[in-house]
Amino acid sequence: MTSIKEVTHVTEIDHLDGKGNGRAMIWRESDRGSNPRKLKLTIPQTLIGESVQVVIEDSEKRRRKVMFEEILVASPERTVAPCPHFELCGGCVWQHWTYEGQLKHKTEQVKNALLSEGFDPELVLDTIGMDDPWHYRNKMEFTFSIEGDMGMHEQGDFRKIIPLETCLIAGRNMVDGMLEVGEWVKEFGLKGYDKEAHVGLLRHLMVRESFATGEMMLALFATETPDGELASAVENLVERITKKFPNVKSLLWLVNTDWADRTQSEDTHLLAGRDFIYDEMAGYRYRLWFDTFFQTNPKQAQKLVDLALEMGKPKEDEKMIDLFCGVGTFSLPFAARVKELAGIEIVETSIESAKRNAIDNDLHNTTFLARDARTGLDEMHDQFGFADILLVDPPRCGAGGRVMRRIGRSQPKRIVYVSCCPETFATDIAELLPFGYKLQTVQPVDLFPHTVHVECVALLELEK
């Protein structure tokens, strides 16, 4: 049997990929006497400009992912990751990078995306960061291993679960709740779900917390109902959670037998409290169910809303359309400032939530429509008329050319684009240029410190 030859190489990180990993290249000598071969490397937890030593198994592969053996020349922006799980856990990728360095990189990321579509990168302002970039998430989804350990997926391997003792990006109360549920699982010897064999009980734990109201939700996703042989264990869970965590206003047991690894429910059992919690943003109250999309970093999301209002300059005699409106995160603050507002969103449960949230906040000048963006715009133009202001807040895949061209043809005076992906943002707004729009400003905002993601709010105005 031929042994695998390992060779040590020294290389320099020249850029980061879309997942935040360092990228480098080496040249390998060929055993066949031909010219040296190029090998492209993906090296996690490295930074641009660093010189690293790696050990490579000799093979014919042209790309490979490896961990560095040693950092020979470290970046001045390298720092010690404070989380004990960082090297394995897939929740964060940049804890080894100073926060100032992360913010500078995110600004450049937005500038490069706009430059690729011919826009002036000088329109991009410095990324707005957080004073304290830790414990900022108000929602987390933890996964159970087959043995019943609860944690996060390992970096690059969704089959392995890293058991957690803490989490530095989740709210502190959420971590306490997660650890309590983990102790309960171990105490009763409950098993997790095997994704390959499709057997086992516990799949996920979702934790939501409102930093404004203090209310918290714990939602267990399992393959069986919480009765029969599970009744005594579930009764114990309810007792210990309600006793130790009076801020838990919603304790749910959600049955999911589908093979797809998603936090979805076929049958919802309310164990304690109500099936939603209250949250607040920009002075408005929202009801959040387990499947409600809501900004996961409330402090920075508030800045998004403030920026959108500042750029949009809503007036009392104007009409507005909020495209991809969700539960009304942007709709409600704008509705209080315009004559009429219409929201469009494809998810029907979100539209029902938006309607209810408007009523809860005593706003009666809103219309919400459950449609996809393209047909929804056409229907809303027929029913509601054309908007003076249009806000678009699409998913990471962007709104798409057809939707953007429909927006351009409708000629709103001002377009506020809230983006969670610089690349799709740049391609989307490029579609507006033939319709007479000019990009005025772009403000990046960091909603997810220690990850690759960056949001931004931009203003485009119709030039007469």
Residue whose token pair is 């408005």: 284
| Chain length of the chain | 464
Query: Could you tell me which residues come within 8 angstroms of residue 383 by beta carbon, excluding any fewer than 6 positions away?
Result: 367
Query: What is the SS3 assignment for 402?
Result: helix
Q: Which of 83, 167, 325, 420 is catalytic?
A: 420
DSSP state of 435: G
Question: Is 420 considered catalytic here?
Answer: yes
Which class for 135: exposed (0-12), middle (13-18), buried (19 or more C-beta within 10 A)?
Answer: middle
Cα–Cα–Cα angle for 159, 161, 167, nearest 5°? 145
Query: What is the SS3 assignment for 234?
Result: helix
Q: Could you write out the DSSP letters of every residue in 298-342?
A: HHHHHHHHHHHHHHH---TT-EEEEET-TTTTTHHHHHTTSSEEE
Would the CA dihedral through 270, 273, 277, 278 be positive or negative? positive
CA distance 248 to 263: 20
Q: What are phi and psi of 155, to 5 degrees?
A: -55, 120
Q: What tokens does 258 get?
A: 């589908």
Specify whether the CB–CB gap between 368 and 379 falls below 8 A.
no
Q: Which active-site residues does the annotation give?
A: 420
